[in-house]
Structure 1
């Protein structure tokens, strides 16, 4: 039996403390070039975070059962296994980040996955509360980590390393930290890189997908440095602070488009093509 801590749950007190300190810092040292906090926006982000925990608890058993059976079966099937030692757990963290890059990229490029992820990008502010604005419908993200079980990583190590990835990304949701020393900026994901990722202007769209390591973006051609002030949010902002609408509005949009489509090509396009996909021309579906 491998028993590793749930690093996300253990980190929640630190999340809230750092968020409070960031908010106080804006009171003590305001900056007109930074958006800071807005009451309704922060409340929505916190509600989304709490809702995400609630949905995780609601679906914890069936998802854990499926993941446990699948990953456990693959782990047992693999003729080799990787030892559960802290050295290999560190390796697992970086292997997880490699697969996280592709998962994150897919969630920006496939409509139905974007419907889950869009909630995280819906804020027009960028502060530590934005990190807590999480999806309520992360039902398919596990698919991208199946190769880790095949490689011989224990399912408990996979869950732990994924939690480490999420915890790392909390601190990069801030405008309070400027660019870090060049070697750090070259290798790791930083607040500067992640501000770009949350940008809605054309030059920043769909860039900097890495979780902990930014080298994946440099390697696969999706890296963009921060050169201009970021405009946060979506290309078409949803204009609501209602957590239910934030969580499900993109699914509703896809459903409306599927119902209105006149062919299976159109229906499948609205679900699986890039967000914002439209038939090439009227009657071409």
Structure 2
């Protein structure tokens, strides 16, 4: 039996073959992509409203950058559409085939799916800042020095190849249908679009305590030392409060947006790839293979010792992190 036949057998036995055929890019959109397609006109309308409000403030809005951000978002959507169904979905189907529980969709399991996806998003997002391989894809989202709705669209076309989707596989193994996972994930991303703005101040205290809000997410995009590595939550901020990564926005510390070492160019290809180039350049430096491989999973600011002529070793000075959390 070939690998393709084996995959199709697994999909058929798990009851997910029709869905895989539906998400195949040559046939149709899956539910997750359909949600994004439906939401896109709303995103454009809201972004246009915001643009009218802040277009004269260059600290908040740059027309060329806004267009670039939507172009980056289109590239991200294109690769997701073309490759998610043939890269990620078969793995989800395999996990779901060997699921531990039989779960029927109802209000209770629907809420559990939402909480599970949001919990997994927290750890995926945290890893995207603290593990360099994942940061190489995520950095483009943080490389803008402005915070507006177009920034939410500033995504990397390499995301599907980067493997962040694997953080949600335990949910399929537990028994949550991959369709539910995909829908919950898409709705979370729709929600997160609306936290990328400076037009909304503090929400009521109860909302600020439970949900990820524009105030919390402004902190997340800050490169200030006080704000780096904070507020990873997707829809909920409770995970940051539980795991010690929460910081409230301080009116006395204005947020400085962006990354500590800006991207070398605004060329789309450079924005997508510059951190991969730096990563593999660091890995190519002389040294033991195990030490060189550490660059993949160590934090973005980590540097390994460099050999010197005398045969001894010394650590290079650690630069500022190449990212903003």
Query: Residues 80, 270 of structure 1: CA spacing in aligned structure 2 closer, same or farther, 3 A cutoff?
Result: closer
**Over aligned residue pairs, what C-alpha RMSD do you find?**
2.0
How far apart are the structure 1 equivalents of 2:89 and 2:270? 32
Could you tell me how far 1:76 is from its partner in structure 2? 2.6
Greater relative contact order structure (CA < 8 Å, 6+ sep): 1
1:222 equivalent to 2:245? Answer yes
Tell me the secondary structure at the aligned position of residue 189 of structure 2: helix
- Choose the corresponding residue for 1:252, options 263, 277, 295: 277
Could you tell me how far 1:281 is from its partner in structure 2? 5.7
Tell me the secondary structure at the aligned position of residue 59 of structure 1: helix
Any conservation in 2 of the 1:270–1:277 contact (CA below 8 Å)? Answer: yes
What 5-or-longer segments of structure 1 have no aligned partner?
Answer: none
**Alpha-carbon displacement from aligned partner over 1:222-264 (angstroms, at most 9, x marks no partner):** 0000002100000111253211111100001111111123222
Which position in structure 1 is the counterpart of 2:6? Answer: none
1:272 equivalent to 2:297? Answer yes
How far apart are the structure 1 equivalents of 2:207 and 2:175? 30
Size of the alignment, in residue pairs? 278
Any conservation in 2 of the 1:210–1:217 contact (CA below 8 Å)? Answer: yes
- Choose the corresponding residue for 1:41, options 47, 50, 65: 65
What 5-or-longer segments of structure 2 have no aligned partner?
Answer: 1-17, 20-29, 308-312, 316-325
Which position in structure 2 is the counterpart of 1:115? Answer: 136
How far apart are the structure 1 equivalents of 2:240 and 2:190? 20
Tell me the secondary structure at the aligned position of residue 203 of structure 1: coil
**Alpha-carbon displacement from aligned partner over 1:159-207 (angstroms, at most 9, x marks no partner):** 1111011111000000000010100000000000000000001110010
- Choose the corresponding residue for 1:84, options 99, 105, 108: 105
**Alpha-carbon displacement from aligned partner over 1:81-130 (angstroms, at most 9, x marks no partner):** 22123553233122100010000000101111100110100100000000
How far apart are the structure 1 equivalents of 2:286 and 2:246? 35
Provide the TM-score with structure 2 as the length reference.
0.80
Any conservation in 2 of the 1:44–1:242 contact (CA below 8 Å)? Answer: no
Any conservation in 2 of the 1:92–1:161 contact (CA below 8 Å)? Answer: yes
1:128 equivalent to 2:152? Answer no
